[in-house]
Amino acid sequence: AQSVTQPDIHITVSEGASLELRCNYSYGATPYLFWYVQSPGQGLQLLLKYFSGDTLVQGIKGFEAEFKRSQSSFNLRKPSVHWSDAAEYFCAVHTGTASKLTFGTGTRLQVTL
Amino acid sequence: DSGVTQTPKHLITATGQRVTLRCSPRSGDLSVYWYQQSLDQGLQFLIQYYNGEERAKGNILERFSAQQFPDLHSELNLSSLELGDSALYFCASSVMSGPTNEQFFGPGTRLTVL
């Protein structure tokens, strides 16, 4: 069965610093990969997605992610973090055989000023 | 605002009770998904409906059931509630079914079982 691992439960970065959130997936074929963000008391908002093609995908709010098949990874990056980026970030995989998203456990991002 | 609405926002009830959570998908979306977010289990897929028909089932307990009505809104019924059912329940919707259809999430219903 497909699974998603987010090894970092909590990350703290300074405002203006770069950010990388890790995501590893387990699935035999090429998965459909997503990053969502959840702000306190809010639902989930899609940041970006990868289906096929260019392995570097751009998303909203200045985020990007790179799909690396050899490492089964889909890490999320941002060159300069803003205080408003503090939130919980979820990586998810959607496999073609099942109409559901499987989420990782999430990474809580704290931004210090 | 995703366009997906969920009511109520908060629900507090007692063990053994039954509750109904309601979801209105975005206009034009045929597919509705229910997810549960709890501290123990994280975010888990419960069930999906597409145009009134059950399409996929996840880790949904037998005490839980859902349906999608002709106007495409959906309800999630939780019965014989236990303390462990306390969680945030999200509804999401998409135009069609399948992985390339972005799921838009509602703000959630926070259920507290006392």
Could you report how far apart the first and last alpha carbons of chain A are, in Å?
41
Q: What confidence score (pLDDT) does residue A97 get?
A: 62
The label of the residue with tokens 């399948």 reads B98
Dist. CA A44–CA A35, nearest whole Å? 10
| Residues in chain A with pLDDT values less than 50 | none
What's the average model confidence in pLDDT over B95-113?
90
For residue B1, the one-letter residue type is D
| Interchain CB contact of B103 with A (< 8 Å) | yes
Average pLDDT, chain B: 95
Set of chain B residues whose Cβ sits within 8 Å of the Cβ of A99 = 31, 33, 48, 50, 55-56, 97-99
Percent of chain B having pLDDT more than 90? 87
Set of chain B residues whose Cβ sits within 8 Å of the Cβ of A41 = 107
Contact A43 B90 (CB under 8 A): yes
When CB atoms are compared, the residue of A43, A46, A100 closest to B45 is: A100
Dist. CA B26–CA B28, nearest whole Å? 6
Set of chain B residues whose Cβ sits within 8 Å of the Cβ of A51 = 99-100
Q: What confidence score (pLDDT) does residue B100 get?
A: 81
φ, ψ for residue B49, nearest 5 deg: -120, 145
Residue-wise burial string across A29-52, b where 16 or more C-beta atoms lie within 10 A, e elsewhere: eebbbbbbbbeeeebbbbbbbbee
Contact A42 B2 (CB under 8 A): no
The label of the residue with tokens 């799909």 reads A67
